């Protein structure tokens, strides 16, 4: 009968209730591809509103704007520039018209002011408008066409401007004057040759109802007389 010898097992391999550990080996896998990490997001871009034409204040730098936001800012700046240029053009136009109508020596307002001063300083005009006695020029008011508004201070001055065949400029206008006793109409005709810079009176007259026309200047009568004397049988002799 054969006897089997048992090989003693080390005591440290067995414990009460313990199982032998089984280790499983797996092949190590190495990454063969690499990628560049994305750039960090702009913290301001996530917290601000999108830039539009209506809300762009210009505080956000150009480099932080998207393509659409850059287009919105460009459009807004173009519109702003257009408005500035339009305002400058309108201002220049108003200034030019104001100069021609008020401040220029050729304007009808300048002609009106000079003629009104002549009437206020003339003794006969003061007598016709304010009566007998000593009067001052402040007693005579001068104004343009009557207005429906009682509060309107600037009234239109009726005028006509033309140039004859010889190149002489003519301005005709009339306005109204009022004194303490009467009212009247002042009729003015001034002319200026191409080589001259100042207007010359061809006629300056005051019409008061019930009175004969009073002339302060009447160069037209002299011109008419010269024309009549220079013609005979339809032929000009001089």
Residue 211 located in a structural domain: yes
Q: Is residue 98 located within the same domain as residue 111?
A: no
pTM: 0.55
Mean pLDDT of the chain: 76
- Say if residue 133 is in the same domain as residue 92: no
Q: Is residue 55 located within the same domain as residue 123?
A: no
Per-residue pLDDT at 116: 93
Given a cut of 60, is residue 23 above it in pLDDT?
Answer: no
A 10 A CB-CB count for 231 gives: 12
Q: Which of 133-142, 169-178, 214-223 has the highest mean pLDDT?
A: 169-178
Residues 112 and 52 both lie in one domain: no
With a pLDDT cut of 90, the percent of the chain lying above it is 29
Question: Do 110 and 189 belong together in one domain?
Answer: yes
Beta strands, E only, the chain: 141-143, 158-163, 169-178, 183-192, 200-207, 214-218, 231-232, 235-236
- Give pLDDT, residue 144: 87
Same domain for 127 and 218?
yes
Q: Each residue of 56-104: pLDDT tens digit?
A: 887 888 888 888 888 888 898 898 889 998 998 888 888 767 666 665 6
Q: Measured between alpha carbons, how far apart are the two ends of the chain, in Å?
A: 183
* Residues 122, 216 contacting (CB under 8 angstroms): yes
Nearest to 213 by CA among 191, 185, 237: 185
- Burial classification of residue 91, based on how many CB atoms lie within 10 Å of its CB (0-12 exposed, 13-18 middle, 19 or more buried): exposed
Beta bridge partners of 143: 176
Residue 25 domain flag: no
- Residue 42 sits at the vertex; the CA angle it makes with 39 and 46, to the nearest 5 degrees, is 130
Q: In which domain, by residue range, is 84 found?
A: 47-102
Helical spans, DSSP H, in 99-215: 108-121, 123-130
Answer yes or no: is 39 within a domain. no
């Amino acid at each position: 009968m054969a006897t089997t010898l048992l090989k003693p097992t080390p005591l440290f391999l067995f414990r009460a209730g313990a199982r032998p550990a089984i280790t499983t080996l797996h092949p190590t896998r190495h990454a063969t591809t690499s990628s560049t990490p994305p750039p960090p997001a702009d913290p301001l871009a996530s917290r601000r509103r999108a830039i539009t034409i209506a809300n762009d204040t210009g505080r956000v730098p150009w480099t932080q704007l998207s393509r659409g936001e850059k287009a919105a800012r460009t459009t807004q700046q173009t519109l702003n520039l257009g408005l500035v240029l339009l305002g400058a053009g309108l201002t220049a136009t108003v200034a030019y018209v104001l100069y021609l109508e008020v401040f220029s020596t050729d304007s009808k307002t300048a002609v009106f002011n000079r003629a009104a001063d002549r009437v206020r300083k003339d003794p006969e005009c003061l007598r016709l408008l304010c009566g007998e006695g000593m009067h001052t020029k402040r007693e005579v008011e001068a104004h343009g066409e009557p207005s429906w508004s009682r509060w309107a201070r600037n009234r239109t001055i009726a005028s006509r401007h033309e140039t004859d065949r010889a190149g002489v400029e003519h301005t005709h206008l009339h306005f109204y004057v009022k004194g303490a006793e009467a009212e009247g109409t002042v009729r003015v005709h001034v002319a200026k040759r191409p080589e001259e810079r100042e207007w010359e009176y061809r006629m300056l007259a005051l019409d008061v109802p019930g009175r004969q026309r009073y002339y302060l200047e009447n160069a037209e009568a002299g011109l008419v007389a010269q024309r009549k004397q220079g013609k005979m049988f339809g032929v000009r002799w001089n």
